Chain A
Amino acid sequence: MTTVDLAALRRDIASLGERNARAAQRSAFDFGDNDIDRVFREGMQRGAVHEIFAEEAGDAGAATGFAIALVLRASPDQSPVLWLEEDFAAQENGFPYAPGLQNIGLDPQRLIIVRCASPQDVLKAASDSLGIRGTGAVVIAPRSNPKCLDLTASRKLLLTAQQTDVPAFLLRLGAYPSENAAVTRWLIRAAPSQSSGANAPGHPVFDATLIRNRQGMTGHWILQWESDDHVFRQIEPVSGTMVSAPSYRPPQTRKSGTRPY
């Protein structure tokens, strides 16, 4: 007759469940807004590459804000956020400014800024950072459209992100979409805010178009970022301001090297 240590078994089973719960919790994130979350039934994939484009040079602030907002949705804890950019990024679009980031909810203490001399260095640092489980999120911001950021390179990043379950956000300022392995692709424009009173600008509002989604539908939303609750909220376009349909046409399969525009 064999005796079974029931208590030990129970503990084992419980711990299995815990581990699974943790994995499930980590593997996806949402927007905190019902309408947009409906598009992602399984949630946004956490360990994946998401790409965020600024539609025009003037939308750099909005695209950066949207990227930060996604970082906060994807990893709300205190884990470090690696910000990888090229040397001249600060001159072109300004450098990530800690007090402002804090204003929209990111604790500057989490931030590690890595300045690279070349896009190759950016990708190498990205791959290293994604390979570490302790990383909260990686914001990868190479300049314009570097050659080295091709299908193979982005697929490598995606694989690493999937293995470690660390989210990667490709922040593309002054760039145009070309084929790569990103799971979602967003086109971000600034949108008029709801004045906080006395004619003052209000909370960040993004005009977000999902132009590619490997997991399902695409869409277009006007989203306000609630800096204190860290949630997106869909809002009606502010009256009196024209919000045109995105002029963007999704890129078809093209030979590499040809400009989609």
Chain B
Amino acid sequence: MVDKLANALRLTAVDEKAAKAGLYKGMALTDARAQFEKLDIAFASPRKDAVLLEKLADWCDRYTPLVALDEPHGLILDLTGCIHLFGDETQLIEDIHKRLHRYGMIVRTALASNPAAARALARHSPGGIIDRNDETRRLYALPLISLDIEETHLAGLKRAGLRSVGDIDVLPRAALTARFGTNLVNRLDALFGRQDEPITPRRIVPVCMVERRMAEPLIAMESVEHVLMSLSDELFRRLQQRVEGAREIEASFFRADGNVRRISIQTGRPVTETKPMFRLLKERLSTLSDPLDAGYGFDIIRLAAIRVEQSQAIQKSLDDRAQETEEIKTLVDRLSIRLGNSRVLRPLPVDTHIPERAVSLEPAATAKQDIVFERTPEHNPGNPPERPIRLFQPPERIDATFEVPDAAPARFTWRRVQHIITLAEGPERIAPEWWREHAGVLTRDYYRLEDNRGRRFWVFREGLYERGDPTPRWFLHGIFA
């Protein structure tokens, strides 16, 4: 592997054979070429490395939901409470090695009592499963570089004749801090578990999770559905004990060849039963643009509740009204899943005078339930409508002619049709919100117009007439009933 570093091509990674031949990381490519004429080189691609690491991390989800990236080449897994699923620690580690070997990976692992120790031991020692009682000894034997401190400090420590982690851990703290800053001491503390250093899992940790590991990978979709069904029964049984319902559920399909597919569904209200959830999940599966492909079969299927909400105690005797409301929520969920959240919308009022901003269309599945539209302050009962029932966004340019300047147009042409105005009201002046707009947004004078055929329009003139704009621009913004 080579990459351009500091204007020279240098080796960024070497394989086992090259390492034995005396090539090392950081060596200039020209030097390496001088030694070995036939050198297999490949250009490094940190981006591709990152993608691969992400994929691997996805794959590692099969062991634990708590997977953190340790870029550029590492992954940290929190296996607390997961080991029994694989027998014991040795079996689990063996499983990781065996499977990753099959994909052509060379891995080094270390299982230790805290993430920092495991990381250091995996990188700078043969790794393995570290016995609790042996951990301190193993850590003491690590070279100083495993502390991950600045070059200058490292050089300083080396000059002082210190070679290993053990050498400095026995030194007085105060002196170390005074000379090398708190960073070094913190690192030491993390390494020995004296200071809790939590990992940051890359995915949200599910609130509740159930999974099924298959001895034989499942290929038939019917059996996959069957497993999903029984998993969801189990999931809801657990949620029910906590009087919770799921707002977001994620199904993960781990394929035997390492591919992981995740499908998540969100609902507008807490779901507490298998049946509605399963219907949504099936809806989603059938509308995937890239359908779920069993390939060589799935060996793990997992169902996790990502987001939960307190559910009302299950009512058995719902009255008609409540039942109808429930049905509507189910309908919204179903449509949102099939068409996408952004296609099932509810209008929400926004406190602004700018007509196109006065309403925002929000996904109905996630929108707040009780929204109240205030009557527009200008609109009195008995008055004709002040606002159009259909609004064009953006407003459409029209050609208007007017007899008196600074008045409603006498006629205008919109979409090649001329409208001769018989009734007009206005102007209603709507000023831009100066605290939000950038300069150049103009005041609008709105008119309600009716043409000789009874069609009613909402048009505006841009800019203030008084400012003396010789060619005011007119727009049609909406149509009335």
Listed in ascending order, the chain A residues whose CB lies under 8 Å from chain B are 57-62, 64-66, 68-69, 79-80, 90-91, 93-104, 107-109, 111-117, 121, 124-125, 128-129, 132-135, 189-193, 195-196, 198-207, 225, 227-228, 241
A109 touches B373 (CB 8 A): yes
A135 touches B454 (CB 8 A): no
Please indicate the chain B residues that have their CB under 8 angstroms from the CB of A189 in the complex.
453-454
Count B interface residues, CB 8 Å.
61
Whether a CB of chain A sits under 8 angstroms from the CB of B339 is yes
Pick the contact of A196 from B345, B383, B388 — CB < 8 Å?
B383
Listed in ascending order, the chain B residues whose CB lies under 8 Å from chain A are 323-328, 330-332, 334-335, 338-339, 343-347, 349, 355, 358-359, 361, 364, 371-373, 375-376, 379, 381-393, 415, 417, 422-425, 448-450, 452-456, 478-481
- How many residue pairs, one in A and one in B, have C-beta atoms under 8 Å apart? 206
Please indicate the chain B residues that have their CB under 8 angstroms from the CB of A79 in the complex.
324
Please indicate the chain B residues that have their CB under 8 angstroms from the CB of A62 in the complex.
454-455, 481
Besides the known contacts A61-B455, A128-B334, 4 further A-B residue pairs in the complex with CB atoms under 8 A apart = A62-B454, A95-B390, A190-B453, A198-B425
Pick the contact of B423 from A57, A109, A134, A195 — CB < 8 Å?
A195
B345 touches A102 (CB 8 A): no
Nearest to A200 among chain B residues (CB) is B425
**Cα distance A113–B422 in the bound complex, in angstroms:** 34
Q: What are 16 A-B pairs at a CB distance below 8 A? A: A61-B390, A61-B480, A62-B455, A90-B393, A96-B390, A97-B391, A113-B345, A113-B347, A128-B335, A132-B324, A132-B330, A190-B456, A193-B450, A193-B454, A195-B423, A201-B449
B391 touches A65 (CB 8 A): no
* Closest-CB distance, B71 to chain A (whole angstroms): 39
Please indicate the chain A residues that have their CB under 8 angstroms from the CB of B449 in the complex.
201
Please indicate the chain A residues that have their CB under 8 angstroms from the CB of B331 in the complex.
128-129, 132, 135
**Cα distance A189–B456 in the bound complex, in angstroms:** 12
Please indicate the chain B residues that have their CB under 8 angstroms from the CB of A134 in the complex.
323-328
**Cα distance A104–B382 in the bound complex, in angstroms:** 10
**Cα distance A168–B406 in the bound complex, in angstroms:** 45
A98 touches B349 (CB 8 A): yes
* Closest-CB distance, A107 to chain B (whole angstroms): 7
Secondary structure dominating the interface of A: mixed
Nearest to A93 among chain B residues (CB) is B390
Please indicate the chain A residues that have their CB under 8 angstroms from the CB of B355 in the complex.
97, 99
**Cα distance A66–B454 in the bound complex, in angstroms:** 14
A201 touches B387 (CB 8 A): no
Contact flag A94-B390 (CB < 8 Å), given A190-B454, A199-B425: yes
**Cα distance A180–B325 in the bound complex, in angstroms:** 31
* Closest-CB distance, B111 to chain A (whole angstroms): 50
Pick the contact of A108 from B335, B373, B384, B453 — CB < 8 Å?
B373
Please indicate the chain A residues that have their CB under 8 angstroms from the CB of B478 in the complex.
94, 97, 100
* Closest-CB distance, B289 to chain A (whole angstroms): 12
Contact flag A115-B343 (CB < 8 Å), given A189-B454, A196-B384: yes
A109 touches B389 (CB 8 A): no
Please indicate the chain A residues that have their CB under 8 angstroms from the CB of B323 in the complex.
134
* Closest-CB distance, B250 to chain A (whole angstroms): 25
The 3 closest A-B pairs by CB, nearest first: A65-B481, A134-B324, A94-B390
B481 touches A95 (CB 8 A): no
**Cα distance A68–B478 in the bound complex, in angstroms:** 16
Nearest to A203 among chain B residues (CB) is B384
**Cα distance A199–B410 in the bound complex, in angstroms:** 13
* Closest-CB distance, A230 to chain B (whole angstroms): 12
